[in-house]
Structure 1
Amino acid sequence: SEAEGRSVAGTLNFDAAPDAQILYKAMKGLGTDEQAIIDVLTKRSNLQRQEIAKSFKAQFGKDLIENLKSELSGNFEKLIVALMYTPYKYDAKELYDAMKGERDNATLYVDTDLAHQDAEALYAAGEKIRGTDEIQFITILCKRSATHLMKVFEEYQKLAGKSIEDSIKSETRGSLEDAMLAIVKCTRNIRCYFAERLYNALKGAGTDDGTLIRVLVSRSEVDLNLIKPEFKRIAGKPLSTMIA
């Protein structure tokens, strides 16, 4: 069975085509559905994101990374594009950027066993300075494995006296904040994340049909049955009674 802390669900049944279609729709026409982009790209493994990019090219004849760059901006763009790079390609890009002088204090931690150093880097990039070195957050959250990040979050709590989520909330805003929190939440418990997305889509006067459909379709062959108990815990009633 899937480990509780894994950030994404690898599955033999993974089909990149629907994810590529969701991304195309999110960026088509006026405006961009940034939440749809977060929903898709923060929930997949790096290998699966590469498959999505191939499907996007095959279906629509366009480069997914270039599309994302043209539709997004700022550090939210940097985070989303970073998710799309393969780990080795991302390392190469970071080194190239550092040698060009685009970043004064670019630091790469290539030894993923040193979670404490990552935690210190995050602490130094946010809580210890005025302002936030958001690139440091993006680099670590995008490059590290879920198992490694869990240890980083634990070490961060000890250093900062607060959770990584609380620091992200106080240091960042908007879609960048949403995406970072999504990565952290999925690392801690992907099923709880999806249960909360379903609950938020269903509660209130109307229903967020887009989110509802995305979550149900993307998780139907992965772990929807394991999401249902989390949903019942959050909502106080079964998922089936709220959809019916």
Structure 2
Amino acid sequence: MKTVFHAAGERGYNDIGWLKANFSFSFGPFRDEKRTNFGALRVLNDDFIARDNGFGSHPHDNMEITTIVLQGALEHQDSMGNKGIIKAGDVQVMSAGTGVFHSEYNPSKTEDTLSLQIWIFPKVRNIEPRYDQKNFGDKFIQNRFTTLISPLKSDETLWLNQDTTFSQGNFDAGQQLNYAIKTPGNGAYVFVLEGDVNIAGHTLNKRDAIGVYDTDSFAIETNSESKLLIIEVPML
């Protein structure tokens, strides 16, 4: 088993007023040659977006983009003709493929938004752009992982153009968990949304992360009530 540990306080940071962004990997003004990606995982941005503000229309291509809203809501609009609200509990996926423009805006006059934007390198380049969205608010069962994104197309999960699995769960203190790699050869990037846990000899607190690879499974011990996101990706 091999690991790479990313402390929350070592992430890149940019504050432009309406947007306060933490970068797990090199992005925008944050450049670190040792933190460009974890396998196919290229971007994990932890964003605060102020009320009545957001990102204007901008282009992407050949990237698999996932947005997870943790608090508040975002209004999405894109060049494929999609328009709607992504709210807490929703997960949105978009294959940029041959190219797409989109905007993301916090439409609330009273509530700020907390969201994660995650980019993954595609399995196949230059596909037709696609969009999907699903609410998982009522799918979570305490002390179990819920699959958000799977490489197997299903009505129960979302799908990306990559052999990736996203799992999220809420756990009580004192849980002894075992995460089994779903796709042989993949690595898993564990991002602590809340709480603190022990993984592979490391203690992780809120917004810390650890990449685990060259293994079929690994153990997780929760020291407090914890919320975890695991992004499993090919190691390239």
Give the structure-1-normalised TM-score: 0.29
Structure number having the greater helix percentage? 1
Give the structure-2-normalised TM-score: 0.30
Structure number having the greater strand percentage? 2
